[in-house]
Structure formats: C-alpha cells, structure tokens
Structure 1
Amino acid sequence: MKKTMLSFLIIIVSNVLYGQGKIKDAEDSLKKTEQSINSHTQSTYSNNSSDSDSDILTDIVRGIVAPIFAYTAYGIAVESPFETNNKSHNAFLTKYPYKNSNTGNYSYNWNEDSEILTTTLTSRFIFETNRLYGNHLNADMRFLKRLGLEFDYLQLWEENNNFDTNKLAIYTALAKYNRVRTERFNAYWGIGAAYIDGEVNALGFTYGLGAEWFFVKPLSLESNFNQILVNDNTVNKFNALLNFHRKQYKFSGGYEGLKIGSVGFSNVSLGIGVSL
C-alpha cells in the first residue's frame, strides 16, 4: 500500500514539474545566462627584430589585405562593379507581383505598374499541435528601390491542463537592404532590434536574410531566416512558403521552424497577405 501511494505521489509531482509546457521551458532557457570567468595572461617580449617583422606585417595588412577585404565585403553586401551595367541595377518596384506581366516584386522598366513605395501586410497562422499555436502579423515596406523596413509580431499560445494558457510574444523590427533585384528573383539582408515579452522581458539584436523566387505565374517560393541574440542565447525563426498570388492578394502555406533558447518548434504555416 505504501509503495502504491509513493508511486502515485511521484506521478503527480512529475506532472507538476514537467507539465508546464514548451513555451514555459523556452522562456526559462532564455532567462538563463551563462557566466564565464576568463583569465588573460600577458607576456611582453623585447626583441627588436620581432618588432620590426611585426611592423612590416601590420603595414601589409593595412595597405593590401584590409582594402581588398573591404572591397569584397562591399561587393557582396551592396553591389559589385560588375553589376552596375546590369538591368537589375536600376530595377523598379512593382505594385504587386504578376500584376500585368510575369514579373515579381521588381521590373526593369518604369511603367504604370511601377511604384516608389510598396507595403505588404500579412497574417500567418502557425500551429504545431491543436494546443500549441501562434500568429504572425507582418508589415513589409519597400522604398527607393533598394531599402526596406519590416515589422513582425509573433504571438504564441499553449493550452495546458495543469496550468493557465502559456503565452509568449516576440516583436521584431528590421532595416532591410534589397540586395538582389531581378524580375524573377529578389533577396535581402537586414539588421535591427527585437523584444521578447512575457517572463523574459528582454531586448536583443537581430539580423535576417530572405529571398523569393517567382518561378511561374501565379506562384512563388519564399524563404526567410531571422536570428535574435538575447541573454547570451538565441531565438531562430525560419520559414519556407509556397505563395499563390491573386491580384493584390497572396495566399501562403508551408513550414515554419522556431528555436527559442533550447526548445524547438516545428509548425505548419497558413497565411494571407495584401499589397497596398
């Protein structure tokens, strides 16, 4: 009888300790910060010949390696000299994909479908189970051909039998540079800030990468990756979507993966968007 009661108590305690849910576990992992003590040992050597060699190496790095690195980095991140004469150099924004042609977000020619500023609003419902789900509200603005701003609000809910419904909100703001601008394919990179609400209550740095391929009218493939650095930990967001474009609207479906701290989420994503 005593053994039966003890087993029953162990089961109850286990449910209480481990039944709090994935969102709560994710919040707890983000609140933990790793502390490390680094000891630095400095040694000083007085050697004229080694100092001379060091000065020569420093001059080489400053005079040759550093400019080459800066030139290459600029070419990768912004534009290479080989692209200045390409049609994509002066590509124009379209009002929305496939409006009157087979082009996506950009067109090589200015026409009645061209715009200086475009804004796309989307809402995407994501779910891992019928008890763990969320929603993305996203505003994506493009202007001056190459620049952009994106604001994303992700709200997660998890229903739990033993506790109240767990909630977690993540706010992200990105300043974006549209690096590749062709009629069928575009890609961007961006940097910004993010705020994680709930029990984490922390501000972090974030960066993002993304691309969209308009392979055949009215469809496109889209993928985005975003990482937030917060409390010596990370929040990773990745999606892969198939978009169906109908006039100024788009309907999307696909996969969204989340890794919040040490906890991973695999979600189905369904959404709708409109271009203004």
Structure 2
Amino acid sequence: MQPIFSNFTSMKHSLFFLIFVISFNSISYSQGKIKEAEDSLKDNQNTSNNSQTETTYTNSCNAPKGNFLTDVIGGLFIQLLAYTAYGIAIESPFETTHLANNAYLTKHPYKNSETGNFSYYWNDDTELFTTSITTRCLFETNRLYGYHLNADLRFFKRFGLELDYLQLWEENPNFGNNTLAIYTALAKYNRIRTEHFNAYWGLGASYINGDVNALGFTYGLGAEWFFIKPFSLASNFNQILVNDNTVNKFNGLLNYHRKQYKFIGGYEYLKIGNIGVSNVSLGIGIYL
C-alpha cells in the first residue's frame, strides 16, 4: 500500500504544479496585446555616459585634417551623392521629357477613361486639388479590432497631405478593456505619376495616445496600380520612431471603384513595439 500511496501523492503534487503553471501563464498573457504593446513603447531610454560623450568629442577634435586632394574628392563625392539622391527622390533628367513629368490629378479614378489618379492631358476629368476620405474597419479577433479614418489631400500635381487616425480596442474579461489611438500627419511627394501606376514617399509626425502619450517621427511609402477597370491594388508602409522603438503599419488592399466611391478589402499588419497584430481590413472611400 505504501508505494501506491506514494505514487498517488507524487501524482497529486505533479497535477498541482501543472495547474499552477497553466494558471500563471494565463494570468501573465491575459493582460492583452494592447497593454503589452503600450508597455513596450514606453520611454526606456538610458542616460548616456558623460565620459563617453567627452571621449567622442576629444577624438573628433584630435582627428587629422585632410589635405587638398582629399577635400576635393570628398566634395565631388558629396555632390554626386546629392545629385543621385535628388534623382531618386524627386526627379531624374531622363524623366523631364516624359508625359508623366507634367501629369495632372484626376477627379477620381476611372471617371470617364481607363486612367487612375493621374492623366497626361488636361480635360474635364482633371483637377488641381483633390480630396479622398476613407474609413476602414480592422478585425483580428472578436475581442481585438480597430478603425481607420483617413483623409488624403493632393494638390499641384506632385504634393499631398495625409491625415490618419487609427483607433484600436481590445476587450479583456480579466483586466478590463484597453484602447490605443495613433494620430499621423504625413507630407507626401508623388514621385511616380503615370496613368496606371503612381507611388509616393512622405515624412511627418505621429502622436501615440493611451498609456504611451509620446510624439514620434514617421515616414511612409506607398503605391497604387490600376491594372484593369474598375479595380486597383494599393499597398502602403508607414513606420513611427518613438522612444527607441517603432510602430510599423503595412497594408495590401484591393479597391473596387464605382463612380466617386471605392470599396476596399484586404490585409493590414501592425507591429506596435514588440507586439504584432494581423488584421482583415474592410471599408469604403469617397472622392470629393
């Protein structure tokens, strides 16, 4: 009887330990993704060491000065780099003679033609200033979901301003509900402006609300391909640099254009600090 009783006691202790581990893990992870994301974004910067700063300053002061030849070569290299960067970011000399160099904004894609956001010729479908407003709902689970409200202003053929509001909600039965809001303003340059494809880059700032309450620098890249009427494929990437961490937003969307409206469906991935969230995205937009 003694070995049986001993085995029963050992099994009882093992079962108790297993229940404890499972309970501990469930408690550890039940605070929710939004709360974990906010914690990872909070300011955790360490104050830099003064001696390191002084050493860097001393080394820079004692650095050997270049001679005339290295100064000339360095200057030419900087000019070449600046020229190349300008050609990539703004315009290259080979593009000045292309029709896209002077493309006009359309009132909305596929208005009376096969063109997308730009047209090579000024006509009744073109405009100097356009605005589109979209709203999209995001769903990861029935407990974690979000909402996008976006205004995209385009003017003077090449320039734009995008204002974006992202709100996330998470329902947590153990720790209550969590919310997180991100406000973004992005100044955009429409780098590629053809009738069936356009692409942009942009710079701006974002404010992260909730428990983070921090302002960060942001940049964005995006493109849209009008491959066949009335459809288009759009993809955008945006990264926010805040508190030595990042918030990444990426989406791939299929748009169906109907008059001045578009119906949107696709995928959006959010990486907020150390936490990733994959979402189904559905919405509607209007061109004003």
Q: Secondary structure at the match of 1:161?
A: coil
Alignment length (residue pairs): 272
State the Cα deviation string for residues 165-209 of structure 1 (Å, max 9, x = none): 110000000000001100000000000010000000000000000
Question: Alignment partner for residue 39 of structure 2, among 22, 28, 31?
Answer: 28
Question: Alignment partner for residue 150 of structure 2, among 121, 134, 138?
Answer: 138
Return the offset for 1:44.
8.8
Percent identity reads: 65
5 Å matches for 1:105-184? Answer: 105-184=117-196
Q: Secondary structure at the match of 1:74?
A: helix
Equivalent-residue separation in structure 2 for 1:65 and 1:113 (angstroms): 45
Q: Verify: 1:61 aligned to 2:81, yes or no.
A: no
Equivalent-residue separation in structure 1 for 2:162 and 2:256 (angstroms): 21
State the Cα deviation string for residues 62-88 of structure 1 (Å, max 9, x = none): 1x1111111111111111111111101
Counterpart of 1:231? 243
Amino acid corresponding to residue 23 of structure 1 in structure 2: I
Question: Alignment partner for residue 245 of structure 1, among 237, 248, 257?
Answer: 257
Equivalent-residue separation in structure 1 for 2:254 and 2:233 (angstroms): 5
Greater shift, 163-172 or 1-10, is seen at: 1-10
Q: Which of the two has higher C-alpha Rg?
A: 2
Q: Secondary structure at the match of 1:102?
A: coil
- Alpha carbons of 1:106 and 1:45: their partners in 2 closer, same or farther (altered >3 Å)? closer
Return the offset for 1:13.
4.6
Amino acid corresponding to residue 61 of structure 1 in structure 2: G
Give unpaired runs (5+ residues) of structure 1.
none
Equivalent-residue separation in structure 1 for 2:262 and 2:62 (angstroms): 68
State the Cα deviation string for residues 127-175 of structure 1 (Å, max 9, x = none): 1111111010000010010010000000001111101111000000000
Q: Secondary structure at the match of 1:29?
A: helix
Equivalent-residue separation in structure 1 for 2:230 and 2:122 (angstroms): 22
Amino acid corresponding to residue 151 of structure 1 in structure 2: L
* Backbone CA RMSD of aligned residues: 2.2
Return the offset for 1:271.
1.1
Return the offset for 1:58.
2.2
Give unpaired runs (5+ residues) of structure 2.
1-8
Question: Alignment partner for residue 189 of structure 1, among 190, 193, 201?
Answer: 201
Q: Secondary structure at the match of 2:123?
A: coil
Counterpart of 1:19? 30
Q: Secondary structure at the match of 1:70?
A: helix
Q: Normalising to structure 1: TM-score of the pair?
A: 0.92
